Amino acid sequence: MRARTGNPQLLILLLVALAGAHMIFGRSEQRAVRGERSEPADLFFPGFRAADADRVAIASGGRRIVLARSGSDWIVEGERGVYADTARVAGALREVAQLSRFDVASVVPGKHAMFGVDDAHGTRVSVEAGGAPVAAFIFGERGPDRTGTYARPQSDQGAYLVPSRLDAVFPLDAAEWRDRRPLRFPIQDSRKLTIEHRGVVTELAVLDDGRWHLVRPRQEPADTRKVERVLVLLAALTAKGYADGLAPSQAGFGGPQGGGGSAVAIGLLKGGTARILFGRQEGEIRYAMTPGRETIYKVSAEMVGQILLTPDAFTQ
C-alpha cells in the first residue's frame, strides 16, 4: 500500500514559505556578520546624530564612568586632567548611530536576564545632547559563537542581536578611554617645525619652492626625509603611562602652564600651531605635556631623543 502524501499544493506552499523565511533570516544573519546597517526603520535611534552628543554615561554593577565634551576635547568626568581619546569616543558614538534590530532574541521581558539585558545584569549606556537624553540602551552577553552582542533600547521590550562587540566599544575602565596621544596633527599640513633644546632654536620651513629649508640659526636647504621623519615620530608619540601625581615643576616643566624644558612647535598649512613640551628624563621615559592641558605623559626617552635634533642633523 502506498503512503498518503497529503495535499501536494499545501506541501509546495509550505516549502516556498520555508525558503522565504530562510532567505530573510539568512540575509539578516549575513548583514550582522558583515556589520551592515539595516533599514532606517530597524535602527535603535533613527534620529540620532553622533556629532550632537556631548555626554556619555556607562554604568554596570555599581560602577559608572562619564565622558563629557569640553570644547574640541572629551574628558573623563571626576578625574582631574584626564582627557579622553576623541577618536575612540567618536567611534563609540558612530556605533550608537548604527545600532539596528538585526535579529530578535526575545520580546518577553521575563527573558531579558537570559541575554544579560536586564537592569540587574546589563551595562547601561545613555547619551545626551544639550542636556537632553537622545539615546539609551542596555547591552549584555555576546551572541552565538561570541559574535555580536545582545542589546535592548531602554524604550523597547525586545532583546536583539547586534553585530557590534559592545563590551569592547564601551569599557567601564577610565584608563581604556584615556588619550594616549599627546600630540595630534595632520602631518601633510605641516609647513614649519621649530625645536628648542638646550638653548638652541632650530627652525625649519617649507619655502616657495615647496621644499623644506633650515631658516634658523642659518639658512640652507634641509634633507626633507629627515624633517618628515621627525614629524612622523611626533605624530606617533604614545603614552607609556601618566604622571598624575606630579606637578609640572616636578616633571621638569617649571611652572603651572608647563613652561621650560624642551619644546617643539609645528606650524600648519591653514594656520594654527601644534605644540608639545618635554620635561625631565627618568630612566627610559621622558615627561611630555601639551600646553593648556593638565595631563603629564610618560613617553619613550629614546624616541624623544630622535626628535630633539640639532640644526646640523637636518642639513644635507
Class (C level, CATH) for 187-314: mainly beta
Hey, what CATH topology would domain 35-177 get?
Immunoglobulin-like (2.60.40)
- Please choose, from the candidates 119, 166, 136, the residue with its C-alpha nearest in 3D space to the C-alpha of residue 56: 136
How high is the pLDDT of residue 40? 57
The DSSP code sequence of 167-181 is HHHS-S-HHHHB---
How high is the pLDDT of residue 41? 59
Segment 27-49, tens digit of pLDDT? 333 443 344 444 555 899 998 99
Contact 264, 203 (CB under 8 A): no
Contact 122, 140 (CB under 8 A): yes
Q: Where in the chain is the domain with CATH 2.60.40.4250?
A: 35-177
68/55 Cα distance (integer angstroms): 4
Query: Cell digits for 173?
Result: 575602565
Give pTM, 2 decimals.
0.75
Which residue stretches of the chain have pLDDT < 70? 1-41, 255-260
How high is the pLDDT of residue 12? 44
